[in-house]
Amino acid sequence: MSDPAVAYRDVTVTAPSGAAILDRITLTIKAGERVAFLGRSGAGKTTALKTINGLVTPSSGIVEVEGTPLAQQDLVTLRRRIGYVMQQPALFPHRTVFDNVATVPRLLGWDEPRIAREAAALMQQLELPLDRFASRFPRMLSGGEQQRVSLARALIVAPRLLLCDEPFSALDPLIRVELQTLLIDATRRTTLIFVTHDVREAMRIAQRIVVFEAGRVVADTTPAELPRHEHPLVRRFVASTT
């Protein structure tokens, strides 16, 4: 565990209007850490996440993944090693569940028996038994099932880094808790960065909570310490859970 999984060095992202979406963020995430980016909408947490897989390019500053600045990496290769799950399952509607899950392995040139093997194991773990789900199309699935397929699609290549952008916010509370549990179990050896505006979700999933406000980091703490944090926004967040 020499290089950090992700390092932000003085990262600023400016909107076309000139407003700073991220304002000189410096932050290091160690390999294997499970971090929640907590904040209100517009706080910059999603933008911070997207600078890691190059969906957003910083206006200034450097983002490093595993010790190498993004600008010196081939983005296509890098993205195939990083899992990404959004609030919208965004499954490919013309592909079956299996073909959705097989997307990145096929981009990487895995042979089909290996893909079938890995998919079967992973989908079993995510409670999407392959024999029942493999040949279904996304439109035939419930929201929770679609999001599990989306997780499977991101986890199939066992990425060392998984980026989640409010993946469960559109789901009903019971299914949300169920999927949080599945996610925790499926990512025991993964560096996890999880964007959310839900304090309870952050405390449940993460070992470390980074609070964003107006493009800055206003708190960098743990679930245990969070209730005692002094920043007014953090106190309001904590108050909202009781």
Of these, 6, 63, 101, 104, which contacts another protein (CB under 8 A)? 104
CB of 183 to another protein, least distance (A): 17
Please report whether residue 77 would count as binding another protein according to CB under 8 A. Answer: yes
Of these, 80, 160, 216, 235, which contacts another protein (CB under 8 A)? 80
CB of 148 to another protein, least distance (A): 15
Angle at CA of residue 33, ends 230 and 236, nearest 5°: 25
The DSSP-derived string for 82-104 is: EEEE-SS----TTS-HHHHHTHH
Of these, 27, 90, 120, 218, which contacts another protein (CB under 8 A)? 90
CB of 239 to another protein, least distance (A): 33
Nearest-CA neighbor of 5 among 30, 36, 39? 30
Helix (H/G/I), strand (E/B), else coil: 85: strand
Nearer Cβ to another protein, position 56 or 203? 56
CB of 73 to another protein, least distance (A): 12
Per-residue DSSP letter, 73: S
Please report whether residue 84 would count as binding another protein according to CB under 8 A. Answer: yes
Distance, in Å, from the CA atom of 107 to the CA atom of 233, rounded to the nearest integer, reads 43
Q: How many CB atoms neighbour CB 134 within 10 A?
A: 18
